[in-house]
Amino acid sequence: MRHLLGIEGLNPVAVTAMLDLAENYVLLNRSGKTQRDLLRGRTLINLFFEDSTRTRTSFELAGKRLGADVINMSVSTSSVSKGETLLDTAATLNAMNCDLLVVRHNQSGAPALLAQKVEAAVINAGDGMHEHPTQALLDALTIRRRKGRIDGLTIAICGDIAHSRVARSNLLLLSMLGNQVRVVGPPTLIPAEIASLGVQVYHDMEAGLAGADIVMALRLQKERMNKGLVPSAREFFAFYGVSAEKLAFAKPDALVMHPGPMNRGVEIDSAVADDSVRSVIKEQVEMGVAVRMAVLDTLARGPIWNG
Ligand code: ASP
C-alpha cells in the first residue's frame, strides 16, 4: 500500500511494525535529537480543508524532525476558497512534485480520490465521518506503552460514535489487534449497523464501563449533525459525560483518553481530564508526533508492507 487512507486494509503485522518504529521515535524525541537526513530533499504538503490543531502541527513537526520541506496549506489561504475543485488542486500539487500529501477533508473519501490523482503518497488526516488512521495508531501506541500490551483489553469508546472518524478507525484497529471494543452512548449517536463490526453496544455508562481497561471520551461532532441529536450539553454530560463517578464503574486502573479538542463539562469532566494518574490525554499528543514520524518514514521508504 503506497498510501495510508485508513485502518481498513492494514493487518496486525503492518500495524505492529509501525508501532515498533514509533517507539524509536518516542525515544528520539525525548532525547531532543532529530533525524534530518531521512527525508532530506522530500516535500511534505499539509492540505487541510478542515480546522486542526494537534494533527496539523504534529505532522509539521514530524516532517521537520525527519528533514522534509514542509508546506502548510489551509483552505482559507488557498485557491480552494476561490472555488477551485479538489481535482484541480490535486493537479496543481502534483505539478509541484510533492512526495507526501497529508489531507484532511470534510468529505469521506476525499483523500482516496486524491490518491488516485497524485504521484505523492497520501495520508488521510481525517475525512468526514470515515477514518482518522493516525489517531487510532497513536491511541494504540499510548495504550500499549501504558498497559504493556495491546490485546485482550476491554475498551469503552463513549459519546458521539455516529459522527466520529476517530471511533471508526479505533474500533477497526483495536478489534483487529484482539481487544474487546464497546461503544457507549445514546441510541441517536450510535449507528444501528455498528454491531456488525463486532463491537458491543451499550446505552448506559454503568454497564458499558463495567470492567473497562480504557475509557475513551469523544466530542459531540456538532458540525456533522444536521439536527439536534442530544437534548442539551448539560443533559448529555449528566448521562454520558466521563466524570469520576462514572469512571468508578471501570477497572480501578482504567485509563482515560480523548483525541481532542475537548469540551470540558460536556463529554468529559475537567477533574478527570486533568487527573495525572488516570488521564493520558497529554501523552496521546506526544505519541501523535512519534506515530506520524513513523508513518512518514514508512511511506517514504516505499509501500506499507502488508504481510
Ligand atoms: N480531532 C479529532 C478529529 O479530527 C476529534 C474531534 O475533532 O473531535 O476527528
Nearest CA to ligand 1 atom 4: 126
> pLDDT (tens digit, 9 = 90+) per residue, 131-175?
999 999 999 999 999 999 999 999 999 999 999 999 999 999 999
Average pLDDT over residues 294-303: 89
217 lines ligand 1 (CB under 6 A): no
Select from 51, 132, 222 the residue to mutate for testing ligand 1; criterion: most ligand atoms less than 8 Å from CB. 132
Instruction: Work out the mean pLDDT of the chain and round it to a whole number.
Output: 94
Per-residue cell: 119 = 504521484
Atom of ligand 1 nearest to the CA of 166: 9
The answer to whether 183 touches 154, Cβ cutoff 8 Å, is no
Instruction: Kindly state the percentage of the chain with pLDDT values over 70.
Output: 97
132 lines ligand 1 (CB under 6 A): yes
Q: What is the identity of the amino acid at 229? A: L
CA distance 260 to 262: 5
Q: How far is the CA of 21 from the centre of ligand 1 (A)?
A: 24
Q: How far is the CA of 220 from the centre of ligand 1 (A)?
A: 10
Q: Could you tell me the pTM of the whole model? A: 0.96
- pLDDT band for position 192 (cuts 50, 70, 90): confident
Rg (CA), the chain: 19
Q: How far is the CA of 41 from the centre of ligand 1 (A)?
A: 31
Q: How far is the CA of 95 from the centre of ligand 1 (A)?
A: 31
Considering only 48-52, 59-63, 181-185, 238-242, which range has the smallest mean pLDDT? 48-52
Residue given cell 513537526 in the structure block? 61
